[in-house]
Copies of this chain bind each other. A is one copy, B any other.
């Protein structure tokens, strides 16, 4: 009761608008998204929406941030492999939950708290794996590229088991040139993206372990290990 509607329900409207905008975007996608529709849903003038967010671009950025804020990062565990897998899974689940919003995270490199938290987990895991700082920084980026790329491809509907039409298309190719592709048609038809993702994460982790063995860091990361272990 302290400030029920002080200064014309300040702040309340803004989050309400953002929620409506997010829901609309998540449902219809970017092509059918417009400020005017958001305004109609909230029951407000289009210019009110613009007044709170400045521009459509800013609104989209806010939507991206809102989506990223909803993902909760797992706590660090003693096992750096599990930590990497957990972060990867969290982002993939985010993409599955709001596939139409997910591309926005790429466009506006959303740097919310979740971003920093996950970065910390990833960097910490890579150092505990035994990587040098330089390698950890580079592989950290690669990790994100892989996870976000995979999740984005899934969200865009690119990574699915192939259907009859794609099978026909591949079968029609010149067998002398596309032998391997055509040999894989049976497994491509029953491919499970989730399984492929987990297998690929294992491959990535395995490669990281190899790198750490061949080029280990000079001294263990005491503070990091102490904190995370």
Q: State the A residues within 8 Å of B (CB).
A: 103, 106-107, 109, 111, 116, 119-120, 123-124, 127, 133-142, 144-150, 152-153, 156-159, 169-170, 173, 177-181, 183-184, 186-188, 191, 193, 195-197, 199-200, 202-208, 210-211, 221, 223-224, 227
- Among B134, B153, B223, which residue has its beta carbon within 8 angstroms of that of A144? B153
Q: How many copies make up the complex?
A: 2
Q: Cβ of A142 and Cβ of B196 under 8 Å apart? A: yes
Cα A186 to Cα B177 with chains together (Å): 48
Can you list 26 A-B pairs with a CB-CB distance of less than 8 A? A103-B106, A106-B152, A106-B156, A106-B158, A109-B158, A116-B181, A120-B181, A123-B183, A133-B186, A134-B187, A135-B199, A141-B153, A141-B196, A142-B199, A145-B146, A145-B149, A148-B149, A148-B153, A152-B152, A199-B211, A203-B207, A203-B208, A204-B204, A204-B207, A206-B207, A206-B211
Q: Which residue among A120, A184, A210 has the maximum number of chain B CB atoms within 10 Å of its CB?
A: A184
Closest-by-CB residue of B relative to A110 is B158
- Considering the complex of A and B, which 4 residue pairs feature the smallest CB-CB distances, nearest first? A149-B149, A207-B207, A142-B200, A138-B196
Closest-by-CB residue of B relative to A189 is B137
- Among B120, B136, B181, which residue has its beta carbon within 8 angstroms of that of A123? B181
Task: Tell me which residues across on chain B come within 8 A of A183, comparing CB atoms.
Answer: 123, 127, 133, 221, 224
Closest-by-CB residue of B relative to A142 is B200
Closest-by-CB residue of B relative to A208 is B203
Cα A157 to Cα B142 with chains together (Å): 15
Question: A73 CB to closest chain B CB, in angstroms?
Answer: 12
Task: Tell me which residues across on chain B come within 8 A of A146, comparing CB atoms.
Answer: 142, 145-146, 149-150
Task: Tell me which residues across on chain B come within 8 A of A202, comparing CB atoms.
Answer: 207, 211
Cα A207 to Cα B37 with chains together (Å): 48
Known pairs A142-B150, A142-B197, A199-B142; A116 contacts B206 (CB<8 A): no
Apart from A145-B150, A146-B150, what are 17 other A-B pairs with CB-CB below 8 Å? Answer: A111-B169, A123-B180, A127-B180, A133-B183, A133-B184, A135-B199, A138-B195, A141-B150, A142-B196, A145-B153, A149-B152, A180-B224, A203-B208, A205-B207, A206-B206, A206-B207, A206-B211
